[in-house]
């Protein structure tokens, strides 16, 4: 790791100003930036730390819904009763992430901005397409953890747990940049490799996520986030799904199904939502929706298992969300 | 010896002597050491798996900022290796590299960063050779050779042993099963990375402080490569932050650091990165196996033919022993009247495999225990009861001439059956739940030393001080297993003093008598016996002096609670210190020694040296699994394990080793694999580790750990100190087959391979749905010519332990002949 300047601004505005200089990077919990620096993938000349910036550690019910400051840690998120009650999918997603040690450091903003775990991307010796090269080594290489959807140009899967959960709660990502504040609906927050190979999120250079606002549950509704892991901590999910639904009588309505860890960005599965909308969300309906969610998968040589696994994961997420809605 | 009931320490969970140091952070590991004027060394490692070094130019690196010294292969041309039959490694490769990570140059600089930066300035010109990636490449006779010695082509070693008449045995069988199985490689993953500091001591002497399990063997390797008189070299092994077999070889970085220190006249330190630890490896050999066993209707075995093929990686390491070990211990658990074993190890361009916990025996144990489960199913028998009916008897000699002493497998099986409610629960499991059983056995130390000689395997020296303190000197190495505590407790118990009166001096080749090292589960038994002997000799001297002092000639003098007294009248006695003073007044300075040499084994055939042990431990394990057929994920909620340790010298330490074994076993069963991948053609097609870090090398965490229900079974063995046998490795072995057997019980599919990943479960389920047998595992075993078998009559056949046809077969290859060794040892 190379030496760098350590910059400690007091406000988000000052942080954005400090980061305007070329070669600088934001540091939230540092759980992704530091490994990237250690492996030589990022060599910032200055690191702007985001701890204690005004307003970035709030977690409250506002007119926008529930506003979560970008510097809130995953540990805070998965111990908060408001989040547990109103954004259960977000609560689950934070609780499933990493380990207690990592969750104590890792922040909401960092979780959305973390770079992919693809071992070709992470290895300094591979000039893969994501790093400006002309090849995705995973297409013909070792791809058991790679994408099963949208995987013709770059096979990463997005590692964020919160991404699908936020989307299930119709989140808006609030960012601050040199040109002022922007509010990005979460559906527009993700950038596919075909749009821009070098990034996964719609942040302009120097822009900082300050908060995320989510739509809380209301009426008889429930949400859930499920993931399937080989290891129960210190690992990323092999497949993930966030689901939200409202009960209209005993029928599901306003369904959201968002899958993670299976494509370069989280994917909302509207076809699966359509299958479930208007149906009693029982096991049969959940499997039918899950079938719709996996339709169109294009697995690679080593990851067809993820399709089978995803089907079960989507079914489980729907059933958990439905059970919670019935109890609400 | 005092009665068991009267023991104060042995048999109790006394506190480890290193506990306070460990938990307070005061224990010094190798990387904690620092010396004045110390410089830092880094190794330039090969980026290619197999290549000739055409030229190497270090001039730019020598001029780089902070650089004080550079070494290449020509500076350390003498080869070394752990086994005398395979001295095939160099501290720095002189002419060719054999795996990605093989070191070719060493740079020392004022800071580690400067050394690292200078490595990039070393220019090496390579000529690439064929990459031998796997069995197929290794068996392909058109490919380049990795070594010029060995059995034939890229075969390092071939073994073929026949005990009795297996074909006759198969004819007696009602059922013959033949399976092909695969056990993937995996690595030790000690938390402490290897570190070494070499300190020149003037007069051409050098001290090497290192995280090694085997200071004695490192001393031998340093002596050979540095070309110095052995007494000029001092090796001190620091407490290891975990070893598991990964620090049992002498390593290139240790030798390079010593050479650099001697060249520079200043201390040289190297601490490996995690990536380099993966490259040092010496882990579990990936092993393909073909196992054919004949069974009678009652489940008893009539004969077995086992074939193994080990992927050895780039160097010999312990490989010859590893190869034999894949066959040696198949006979010690259940009666096996006729047995054929064919084993072979191939070279590949990967980090060398070696002795990981269980050393060569977990792989064939997996094959045997899974096949037993299949036989029980086919014959309609309870797999636990079927095992109980065919136990190898205690005090017996097996078909391959291993002498079994105490044998507690029966009580072990009964304990886990009771604990898991096997009989009640097995036929009433909810969907996806299953119970599987497997058993195992392991050595309490290898019966023969690595360098063949008649000297003791362990020595202990005591110095009794007139203050009442006892200094204990022994070459043994604490690697976390608690050997320091066992050493201190054995002496304290015999002398009736507390652990506070013991001062240990261990693992220092200048100061301590040789103990061969912390490998093969040998320390408690061998060091323990040596310590007991040394302490008993001291007790005899003190008792004589005390009896005289008390004017009680011929009295039964007892040592307990820091006192030395008359058994008949405990009030008549003195303090331990007073007894030492009485002895010192009469006989001068008081010191004693003890040593241990294992008994001679009955086998007399070539290869009989691998497998014998003074005593065998036994384990039985029942694993419960919870498998979700929709996700393929296997969870292990509970494990019941019973281990026959002979005598638990410290039950807490025993339970700790058992639980650690379960942890490692769950990893080997479900996650851990030494996976490699080829770089894409455009990047050189080199063979590299599939991510050498602790994040991508998946091993269990707290949340993956099952509840472990441990039963300690005590069948004391006459050869063990206080009856003790090993516990460091044996309890690992049954975990992997028990998981596989439990998955069969849960889902009806067979996993003939570990680790077991979700996609394997899916594949087996899919095959079953299509009407197949429902199995995941290797399809076929390649055609390997193992050569003619040594034909060894069994004890039941009236054999004498020798092979019938030894003269016809003669000495086979696979090992370095004297001429080869000498030619390799010539400086380039």
Q: Quote the crossing angle between the two packed helices B483-495 and B523-549, to the nearest 10°.
A: 20
Domain that holds residue A228: 221-327
Residues B761 and B667 in one domain: yes
Residues B608 and B696 in one domain: yes
Confidence tier at B554 by pLDDT (50, 70, 90): confident
B142 belongs to a structural domain: no
Query: What is the structure's pLDDT at B825?
Result: 41
A237 belongs to a structural domain: yes
* Angstroms from B499 CA to nearest CA on chain A: 37
Residues B627 and B650 in one domain: yes
The 10s digit of each residue's pLDDT in B113-122 is: 999 999 999 9
DSSP secondary structure, B628-678, as one string: -TTT--EEEEEEEEEEE-SS-SSHHHHHHHHHHHHHHHHHHHHT----EEE
Contact B762 A144 (CB under 8 A): no
Mutation target vs B (from A231, A237, A239, A316; most B CBs, 10 A cutoff):
A231
Write down how long chain A is. Answer: 328
User: What is the pLDDT averaged over residues A249-253?
Assistant: 97
CA distances from B680 to A122, A130, B132, B677 (A): 16, 16, 16, 9
Phi first, then psi: what are they for B755, rounded to 5°?
A: -70, 155
Query: What is the structure's pLDDT at B817?
Result: 55
* Angstroms from B282 CA to nearest CA on chain A: 24
Residues of chain A that touch chain B, judged by Cβ-Cβ distance less than 8 Å: 99, 119, 122-123, 125-126, 135, 137, 140-142, 144, 228-235, 238, 302, 304-305, 308-309, 311-313, 315
Helix (H) or strand (E) holding B288: strand B287-295
- What average pLDDT is seen over chain A? 95
User: What is the pLDDT averaged over residues A220-233?
Assistant: 96
Residues B180 and B306 in one domain: yes
B379 belongs to a structural domain: yes
A176 belongs to a structural domain: no
A280 belongs to a structural domain: yes
Query: What is the structure's pLDDT at B813?
Result: 54
- Please, how many CA atoms are within 13 Å of residue B813, restricted to the half-sphere of its CB? 16
Q: Rounded CA gap, B470 and B461, in Å?
A: 10
Q: Which two tokens stand for residue A1?
A: 């790791």
Query: Chain A within 8 Å of B691 (Cβ-Cβ)?
Result: yes
Helix (H) or strand (E) holding B763: helix B758-769
| Burial environment of residue B158 by CB neighbours within 10 A (0 to 12, 13 to 18, 19 or more) | buried
| Burial environment of residue B465 by CB neighbours within 10 A (0 to 12, 13 to 18, 19 or more) | middle
Q: What is the ipTM score, two decimals?
A: 0.94
Confidence tier at B693 by pLDDT (50, 70, 90): confident
Using DSSP bridges, classify how beta strands B676-678 and B707-713 pair: parallel, antiparallel or unpaired.
unpaired
Contact B698 A311 (CB under 8 A): no
Query: Chain A within 8 Å of B704 (Cβ-Cβ)?
Result: yes
Query: What is the structure's pLDDT at B696?
Result: 86
Closest Cβ–Cβ partner in A119, A135, A302 for B696? A119
B812 belongs to a structural domain: no
Query: What is the structure's pLDDT at A295?
Result: 98
Q: Rounded CA gap, B57 and B168, in Å?
A: 64
With the CA atoms of B330, B331, B333 and B337 taken in that order, what torsion angle do they form, in degrees rounded to the nearest 10? 130
Name, in order, each residue with C-beta under 8 angstroms of A146's C-beta and a sequence gap of 6 or more.
Answer: A118, A138, A155, A156, A157, A300, A303
Residue B15 CB: number of other CB atoms within 10 A?
A: 12
A129 belongs to a structural domain: no
- Helix (H/G/I), strand (E/B), else coil: A285: helix
Q: Residues A200, A187: contact at Cβ < 8 Å?
A: no
Q: Is the peptide bond before B136 cis (omega within 30 degrees of 0)?
A: no
Confidence tier at B809 by pLDDT (50, 70, 90): confident
Q: Which two tokens stand for residue B255?
A: 């030798």
Confidence tier at A238 by pLDDT (50, 70, 90): very high
Residues B568 and B709 in one domain: no
- What are the start-end ranges of the E strands in B184-238? 195-202, 205-210, 233-237
Q: Which of A229-238, A254-263, A271-280, B320-329 has the lowest mean pLDDT?
A: A229-238
A31 belongs to a structural domain: no
Q: Rounded CA gap, B581 and B586, in Å?
A: 9
What percent of chain A is modeled with pLDDT above 90? Answer: 91
Residues of chain B contacting residue A125, judged by C-beta atoms under 8 Å apart: 679, 683
| Burial environment of residue B390 by CB neighbours within 10 A (0 to 12, 13 to 18, 19 or more) | middle
Query: What is the structure's pLDDT at B646?
Result: 98
Phi first, then psi: what are they for A223, rounded to 5°?
A: -140, 160
Task: Find, in chain A, the residue whose alpha carbon is nearest to that of B113.
Answer: A1
Mutation target vs A (from B47, B191, B631; most A CBs, 10 A cutoff):
B631
B758 belongs to a structural domain: yes
Residues B118 and B41 in one domain: yes
Nearest 5°: CA angle at B310, between B305 and B311?
Answer: 160
Residues B176 and B315 in one domain: yes
Query: What is the structure's pLDDT at B293?
Result: 98
User: What is the pLDDT averaged over residues B191-205?
Assistant: 96
Q: Residues B354, B245: contact at Cβ < 8 Å?
A: yes
pLDDT of residue B8 exceeding 70, the answer is yes
User: What is the pLDDT averaged over residues A290-299?
Assistant: 98
- The dihedral through the CA atoms of B622, B627, B633, B635 has a sign that is negative
B134 belongs to a structural domain: no
pLDDT of residue B358 exceeding 60, the answer is yes
Contact B758 A309 (CB under 8 A): yes
Confidence tier at A194 by pLDDT (50, 70, 90): very high
Q: How many domains does chain B have?
A: 3
The 10s digit of each residue's pLDDT in B567-602 is: 999 999 999 999 999 999 999 999 999 999 999 999
Query: Chain A within 8 Å of B696 (Cβ-Cβ)?
Result: yes
| Burial environment of residue A10 by CB neighbours within 10 A (0 to 12, 13 to 18, 19 or more) | exposed
Query: What is the structure's pLDDT at B695?
Result: 85
The 10s digit of each residue's pLDDT in B361-405 is: 999 999 999 999 999 999 999 999 999 999 999 999 999 999 999
Residues B341 and B301 in one domain: yes
A252 belongs to a structural domain: yes
Residues B100 and B211 in one domain: yes
What percent of chain B is modeled with pLDDT above 70? Answer: 96
Q: Which two tokens stand for residue B616?
A: 């065998």
What percent of chain A is modeled with pLDDT above 70? Answer: 100
Q: Rounded CA gap, B447 and B733, in Å?
A: 20
Mutation target vs B (from A118, A125, A230; most B CBs, 10 A cutoff):
A230
Domain that holds residue B459: 4-27+455-596
**Three-state DSSP string of A173-210:** EEEEECCEEEEEEHHHCECCCCCCCCCCECCCCCCEEE
B137 belongs to a structural domain: no
Q: Which of A152, A174, A175, A161 is nearest to A297 (CA)?
A: A152
Q: Which DSSP letter does residue B690 get?
A: S
Name, in order, each residue with C-beta under 8 angstroms of B100's C-beta and a sequence gap of 6 or more.
Answer: B45, B46, B47, B48, B49, B279, B349, B686, B687, B688, B689
Query: What is the structure's pLDDT at A52?
Result: 87
Q: Which two tokens stand for residue A135?
A: 């090849």
CB burial readout A158-188, b (16+ within 10 A) else e: bbbbbbbbbbbbbbbbbbbbeeeeeebebee
Confidence tier at B826 by pLDDT (50, 70, 90): very low
Residue B475 CB: number of other CB atoms within 10 A?
A: 27
Q: What CATH number has the domain bearing residue A267?
A: 3.30.390.50
CB burial readout B329-349, b (16+ within 10 A) else e: bbbbbbbbbbbbbbbbbbbbb
Q: Which of A213, A209, A313 is nearest to A261 (CA)?
A: A313
Closest Cβ–Cβ partner in B631, B696, B698 for A309? B631
Task: Find, in chain B, the residue whose alpha carbon is nearest to that of A310.
Answer: B631
Name, in order, each residue with C-beta under 8 angstroms of B698's C-beta and a sequence gap of 6 or more.
Answer: A230, A231, A235, B667, B671, B672
Query: What is the structure's pLDDT at B815?
Result: 57
Residues of chain A contacting residue B626, judged by C-beta atoms under 8 Å apart: none
Q: Rounded CA gap, B162 and B165, in Å?
A: 8
Confidence tier at B820 by pLDDT (50, 70, 90): low
B656 belongs to a structural domain: yes
* Angstroms from B758 CA to nearest CA on chain A: 8
Confidence tier at A126 by pLDDT (50, 70, 90): confident
Residue A219 CB: number of other CB atoms within 10 A?
A: 11
| Burial environment of residue B651 by CB neighbours within 10 A (0 to 12, 13 to 18, 19 or more) | middle
Q: Rounded CA gap, B253 and B193, in Å?
A: 12
Residues B206 and B82 in one domain: yes
Q: How many domains does chain A have?
A: 1
Query: What is the structure's pLDDT at B828?
Result: 31
Q: Which two tokens stand for residue A151?
A: 């995987």
Q: What CATH number has the domain bearing residue B515?
A: 3.30.365.10
Q: Residues A83, A66: contact at Cβ < 8 Å?
A: yes
Contact B680 A140 (CB under 8 A): yes
Phi first, then psi: what are they for B799, rounded to 5°?
A: -70, 170
The 10s digit of each residue's pLDDT in B61-81 is: 999 999 999 999 999 999 999
Residues B638 and B706 in one domain: yes
**Pairs across A and B, CB distance < 8 A:** 65
The 10s digit of each residue's pLDDT in B724-737 is: 999 999 999 999 99
Query: What is the structure's pLDDT at B685?
Result: 66
Residues B659 and B770 in one domain: yes
Nearest 5°: CA angle at B391, between B390 and B394?
Answer: 145
Q: Residues A242, A256: contact at Cβ < 8 Å?
A: yes
B150 belongs to a structural domain: no
- What average pLDDT is seen over chain B? 95
Contact A230 B690 (CB under 8 A): no
Nearest 5°: CA angle at B614, between B610 and B616?
Answer: 85
- What are the start-end ranges of the E strands in B529-606? 557-560, 563-566, 573-575, 590-596
The 10s digit of each residue's pLDDT in B443-484 is: 999 999 999 899 999 999 999 999 999 999 999 999 999 999
Name, in order, each residue with C-beta under 8 angstroms of A77's C-beta and a sequence gap of 6 or more.
Answer: A59, A68, A83, A90, A91, A94, A108
User: Which residues lie across from B591 on neighbouring strands?
Assistant: B463
What percent of chain B is modeled with pLDDT above 90? Answer: 93
A68 belongs to a structural domain: no
The 10s digit of each residue's pLDDT in B478-515 is: 999 999 999 999 999 999 999 999 999 999 999 999 99
Query: What is the structure's pLDDT at A142?
Result: 86
């Amino acid at each position: 790791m190379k030496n760098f300047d350590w910059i400690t601004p007091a406000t988000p505005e000052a942080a954005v100003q400090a980061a305007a200089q070329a070669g600088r990077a934001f540091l939230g919990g540092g759980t992704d930036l530091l490994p990237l620096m250690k492996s030589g993938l990022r060599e910032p000349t200055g690191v702007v730390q985001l701890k204690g910036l005004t307003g970035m550690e709030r977690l409250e019910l506002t007119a926008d819904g529930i506003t979560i400051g970008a510097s809130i840690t995953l540990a805070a998120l998965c111990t908060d009763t408001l989040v547990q009650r109103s954004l259960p999918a977000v609560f689950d997603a934070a609780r499933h992430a990493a380990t207690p040690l990592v969750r104590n450091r890792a922040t909401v903003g960092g979780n959305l901005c973390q770079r992919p775990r693809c071992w070709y991307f992470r290895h300094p010796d591979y000039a893969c397409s994501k790093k400006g090269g002309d090849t995705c080594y995973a297409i013909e290489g070792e791809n058991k953890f790679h994408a099963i959807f949208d995987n013709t140009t770059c096979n990463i899967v997005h590692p964020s747990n919160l991404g699908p959960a936020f989307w299930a709660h119709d989140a808006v990502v609030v960012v601050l940049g040199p040109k002022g504040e922007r509010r990005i609906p979460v559906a527009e927050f993700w950038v596919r490799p075909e749009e821009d190979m070098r990034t996964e999120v719609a942040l302009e250079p120097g822009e900082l996520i300050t908060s995320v606002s989510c739509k809380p549950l209301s009426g008889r509704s429930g949400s859930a986030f499920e993931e399937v892991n080989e290891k129960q901590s210190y690992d990323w999910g092999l497949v993930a799904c966030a689901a939200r639904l409202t009960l209209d009588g005993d029928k599901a309505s306003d369904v959201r199904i968002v899958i993670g860890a299976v494509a370069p960005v989280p994917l909302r599965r509207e076809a699966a939502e359509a299958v479930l909308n208007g149906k009693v969300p029982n096991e049969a309906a959940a499997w039918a929706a899950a079938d719709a969610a996996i339709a169109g998968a294009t697995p690679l040589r080593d990851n067809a298992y993820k399709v089978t696994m995803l089907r079960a994961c989507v079914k489980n997420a729907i059933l958990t969300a439905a059970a919670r809605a019935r109890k609400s | 010896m005092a009665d068991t009931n009267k023991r104060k320490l042995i048999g109790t969970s006394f506190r480890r002597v290193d506990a306070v140091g460990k938990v307070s952070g005061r224990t010094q590991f190798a990387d904690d050491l620092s010396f004045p004027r110390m410089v830092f060394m880094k190794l330039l490692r090969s980026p290619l798996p197999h290549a000739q070094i055409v030229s190497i130019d270090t001039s730019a690196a020598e001029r780089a900022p902070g650089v004080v010294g550079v070494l290449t292969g020509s500076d350390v041309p003498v080869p070394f290796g752990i086994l005398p039959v395979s001295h095939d490694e160099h501290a720095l490769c002189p002419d060719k590299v054999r795996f990605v990570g093989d070191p070719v140059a060493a740079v020392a600089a004022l800071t580690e960063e400067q050394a690292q930066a200078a490595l990039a300035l070393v220019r090496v010109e390579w000529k690439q050779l064929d990459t031998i990636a796997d069995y197929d490449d290794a068996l392909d006779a058109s490919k380049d050779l990795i070594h010029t010695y060995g059995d034939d082509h890229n075969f390092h070693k071939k073994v073929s042993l026949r005990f009795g008449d297996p074909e006759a045995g198969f004819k007696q069988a009602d059922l013959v099963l033949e399976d092909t199985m695969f056990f993937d490689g995996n690595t030790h993953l000690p938390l402490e990375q290897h570190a070494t500091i070499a300190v020149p001591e003037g007069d051409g002497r050098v001290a090497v402080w290192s995280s090694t399990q085997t200071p004695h063997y490192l001393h031998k390797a340093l002596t050979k490569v540095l070309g110095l008189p052995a007494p000029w070299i001092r090796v001190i092994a620091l407490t290891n932050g975990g070893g598991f077999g990964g620090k049992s070889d002498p390593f290139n970085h240790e030798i390079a650091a010593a050479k650099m220190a001697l060249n520079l006249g200043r201390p040289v330190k190297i601490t490996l990165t995690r990536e380099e630890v993966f490259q040092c490896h010496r882990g579990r050999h990936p092993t393909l196996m073909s196992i054919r066993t004949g069974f009678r209707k009652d489940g008893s075995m009539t004969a077995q033919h086992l074939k193994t093929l080990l992927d050895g990686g780039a160097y010999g390491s312990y490989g010859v022993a590893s190869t034999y070990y894949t066959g040696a211990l198949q006979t010690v658990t259940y009666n096996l009247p006729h047995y054929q074993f064919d084993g072979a190890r191939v070279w590949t361009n990967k980090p060398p495999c070696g002795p990981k916990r269980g050393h060569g025996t977990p792989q064939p144990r997996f094959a045997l225990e899974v096949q037993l489960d299949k036989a029980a199913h086919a014959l309609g028998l309870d797999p636990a009861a079927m095992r109980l009916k065919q136990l190898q008897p205690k005090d017996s000699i097996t078909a391959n001439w291993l002498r079994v002493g105490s044998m507690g497998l029966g009580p072990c099986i009964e304990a886990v059956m009771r604990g898991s409610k096997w009989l009640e629960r097995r036929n009433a499991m909810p969907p996806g739940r299953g119970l599987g059983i497997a058993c195992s056995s392991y050595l309490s130390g290898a019966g023969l030393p690595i360098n063949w000689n008649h000297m003791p395997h362990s020595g202990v020296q005591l110095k009794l001080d007139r203050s009442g303190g006892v200094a204990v000197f022994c070459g043994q190495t604490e690697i976390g297993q608690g050997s320091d505590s066992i050493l201190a407790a054995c002496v304290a118990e015999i002398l009736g003093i507390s652990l506070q009166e013991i001062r240990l001096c261990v693992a220092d080749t200048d100061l301590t008598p040789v103990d061969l090292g912390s490998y093969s589960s040998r320390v408690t038994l061998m060091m323990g016996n040596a310590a007991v002997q040394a302490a008993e000799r001291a007790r005899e001297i003190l008792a004589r002096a005390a009896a005289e002092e008390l004017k009680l000639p011929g009295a039964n003098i007892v040592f307990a609670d820091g006192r030395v007294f008359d058994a008949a009248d405990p009030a008549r006695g003195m303090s331990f210190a007073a007894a030492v003073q009485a002895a010192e007044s009469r006989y001068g300075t008081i010191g004693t020694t003890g040593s241990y040499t294992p008994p001679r084994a009955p086998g007399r055939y070539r290869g009989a040296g691998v497998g014998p042990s003074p005593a065998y431990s036994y384990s039985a394990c029942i694993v419960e699994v919870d498998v979700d057929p929709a996700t393929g994920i296997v969870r292990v909620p509970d494990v019941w394990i019973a281990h026959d340790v002979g005598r638990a010298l410290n039950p807490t330490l025993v339970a700790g080793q058992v639980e650690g074994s379960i942890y490692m076993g769950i990893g080997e069963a479900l996650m851990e694999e030494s996976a490699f991948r080829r770089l894409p053609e455009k990047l050189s097609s080199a063979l590299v580790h599939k991510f050498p870090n602790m994040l991508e090398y998946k091993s269990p965490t707290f949340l993956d750990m099952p509840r472990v229900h441990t039963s300690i079974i005590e069948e004391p063995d006459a050869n063990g100190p206080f009856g003790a046998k090993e516990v460091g490795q044996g309890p690992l072995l049954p975990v992997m087959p028990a998981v596989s057997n439990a998955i069969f019980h849960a889902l009806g599919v067979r996993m003939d391979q570990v680790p077991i990943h979700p996609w394997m479960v899916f594949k087996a389920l899919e095959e079953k749905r299509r009407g197949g047998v429902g199995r995941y595992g290797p399809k076929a075993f390649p055609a390997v010519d193992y050569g003619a078998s040594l034909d060894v009559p069994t004890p039941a056949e009236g054999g004498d332990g020798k092979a019938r046809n030894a003269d016809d077969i003669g000495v086979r290859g696979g090992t370095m002949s004297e001429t080869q060794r000498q030619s390799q040892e010539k400086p380039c």
